Amino acid sequence: MAAAISSALAGATRSVACPSCVGRASDAVQRSEVRGAAYACSSRSFGAVRSVAGESSNAGSKPLKTFNGLRAGGVFKKEYDALTEAVRAEGTVEEEFTLTIYAGRNGKPLEGRKLRVAVVGGGPAGGCAAETLAQGGIETFMFERKMDNAKPCGGAIPLCMIGEFNLPLDIIDRKVTKMKMISPSNVSVDVGKTLNENEYIGMVRREVLDSYLRDRAKSYSANVINGLFMKMDIPKDENSPYVLYYNDYSSGSKVGVPRTLEVDAVIGADGANSRVAKDIDAGEYDYAIAFQERIRIPAEKMEYYENLAEMYVGDDVSPDFYGWVFPKCDHVAVGTGTVVNKPAIKKYQTATRNRAKDKIAGGEIIRVEAHPIPEHPRPRRVSSRVALVGDAAGYVTKCSGEGIYFAAKSGRMCAEAIVEGSMNGTRMVDESDLRKYLEKWDKTYWPTYKVLDILQKVFYRSNPAREAFVEMCADDYVQKMTFDSYLYKTVVPGNPLDDIKLAVNTIGSLIRASALRRESQKEIQFVPSTRPWKLDVGFKNLSLQEALDLV
Ligand SMILES: Cc1cc2nc3c(=O)[nH]c(=O)nc-3n(C[C@H](O)[C@H](O)[C@H](O)COP(=O)(O)OP(=O)(O)OC[C@H]3O[C@@H](n4cnc5c(N)ncnc54)[C@H](O)[C@@H]3O)c2cc1C
């Protein structure tokens, strides 16, 4: 009997389609493993029967559980019938068995070549996407216009990113274990008391992190091209290629040599000013402008920031965000951002610097940088065989302005969907494959974005509300919940009693904030600066608009 089932399964296992994913019957596919990365059916619920053909044999008898996975038709009819008959005849099998099942796919098989995917942008989103694609057997091309790009960024990453993305510790400049939240009236609250000794926020320099991720993608055989993506031609049918136009800098040419490349799918990981997004008419998003100065401070002052970061809130540093001082290897990054009053960003930056002035006195500004931060996802993130990830898609959280982890994660998730949909690069993909990434993304992270959106609306709206926010941060329970959620990117289940206490405290703080606001309310008028000021982005002097166009 075991042999009968085993041989029926042997046939079934070679080519079995998942009913929930299947496209055309003739598209049933074989198991495919490339460099250790095998991607099974995305419909994980389709696992009622477990076994690998040829492995079923001698363990104790167990009743066969409901077997409802295989389709009773198409090219599998023979295997299905044989299996059904064998099961009916015996009613039991000698071992619980595993049936490895792969989805049948819509895309047609690719003859004599692998699926070709271009990743535009070599930041965390692009690097992680390219690595996953290459590991999954896809012919991968990653474009990065500037290999030593130092993306303007605070560089704070959650602890879980180091483990999940297997980052070496030597690319972490600092391990921050203390955070000072500083209120509009300069009340300072120490956050981080609840961290255990192995927990910290990682501080990285983006030029270091990004180039590490790109090199790692290359080590898995991704083709990394030093080139500026210009535009692409969208194919007219489901199997024709996208034609990408780019300026190739790999020969050292400053202007670049115009070239084209044909690919089957494109991942837009080219940041907030994404050209890929424009090409697929993805729509716009609101954005904040963030401004940052890297300041080298005397060694004795640097000691204070050894493992400490500061966050300043107040109308002076930003009407809707926060100012920060983050420690880096040999300097601190001082910055702020705003959506509602972008022309006043320089004024907010001066205020942030002033608030920290005693601690950074004697410092030398070594770099000034500015960049947009998306406020919410774009209206369209997938179109046909093109998907947007990271900042190009709009995945920065409100309130904290965090985007590195979400960029890396979305790049990886999108690439996984392509690897899975193409059966390790052996078949063409279509929009439904790429949409799987969106579904998974939204399901996993929508609550995080929503909660932080609400927090920002409630607590960053006025100075009294900010005072209340800082006051709340003194609570150990609040610290534990927020730190755990940040460090591990999970919604931490709370303690019901503490939750009630927190709710009461929150309401109390907000009532006090409202009362204070009513008393102290005076309209703050922001007068846009009329003086065109210059921004040094490291290599030339530009007006803010020119700089923004550039970045
Ligand atoms: C001042 C500031 C501070 C921030 N601080 C933090 C922080 O502390 N922690 C945090 O988590 N997030 C922070 N963020 C947000 C974070 O920087 C972004 O969310 C993150 O960089 C997004 O990664 P990405 O890979 O999607 O895009 P990017 O990092 O923008 O990478 C895009 C890449 O694509 C390349 N590129 C762009 N166009 C083209 C083209 N046409 N052809 C070829 N290559 C191209 C660029 O050179 C770049 O390397 C901050 C942002 C700013 C502006």
CA distances from 114 to 138, 234, 309, 419, 427 (A): 6, 20, 47, 11, 8
> Which residues, listed in sequence order, are joined to residue 120 by a DSSP beta bridge?
143, 268
Amino acid in the structure at residue 73: G
CA distances from 380 to 86, 129, 388, 453 (A): 50, 19, 9, 20
Confidence of residue 458 (pLDDT cuts 50, 70, 90): confident
Q: Closest residue (by CA) to atom 17 of ligand 1? A: 153
The CA R_g of the chain, rounded to the nearest whole Å, is 27
What is the C-alpha separation between 37 and 220, in angstroms, rounded?
12
Q: Which atom of ligand 1 is nearest to the CA of 230?
A: 41
What is the C-alpha separation between 30 and 324, in angstroms, rounded?
53
Q: Closest residue (by CA) to atom 18 of ligand 1? A: 403
Q: Are 345 and 289 in contact (CB under 8 A)?
A: yes
Confidence of residue 62 (pLDDT cuts 50, 70, 90): very low
Most distant CA pair in the chain, distance: 88
Q: Which atom of ligand 1 is nearest to the CA of 228?
A: 42
Residue 13 has pLDDT above 90, yes or no: no
Q: What is the pTM of this model?
A: 0.77
Which residue would you say has higher pLDDT here, 106 or 114?
114
Each residue's pLDDT tens digit, 313-364: 999 999 999 999 999 999 999 999 999 999 999 999 999 999 999 999 999 9
Q: Closest residue (by CA) to atom 29 of ligand 1? A: 123
Each residue's pLDDT tens digit, 128-169: 999 999 999 999 999 999 999 999 999 999 999 999 999 999
CA distances from 133 to 20, 35, 188, 412, 414 (A): 24, 11, 46, 8, 9
Which residue would you say has higher pLDDT here, 75 or 494?
494
Ligand 1 pocket mutation pick from 147, 223, 391, 550 by most atoms within 8 angstroms of CB:
391
Each residue's pLDDT tens digit, 475-512: 888 888 787 888 887 755 555 555 555 555 655 655 55
Residue 260 has pLDDT above 90, yes or no: yes
Ligand 1 pocket, Cβ-based, cut-off 6 angstroms:
120-126, 143-146, 149, 151-156, 228-229, 269-271, 275, 290, 292, 335, 371, 373, 390-392, 396, 401-405, 407
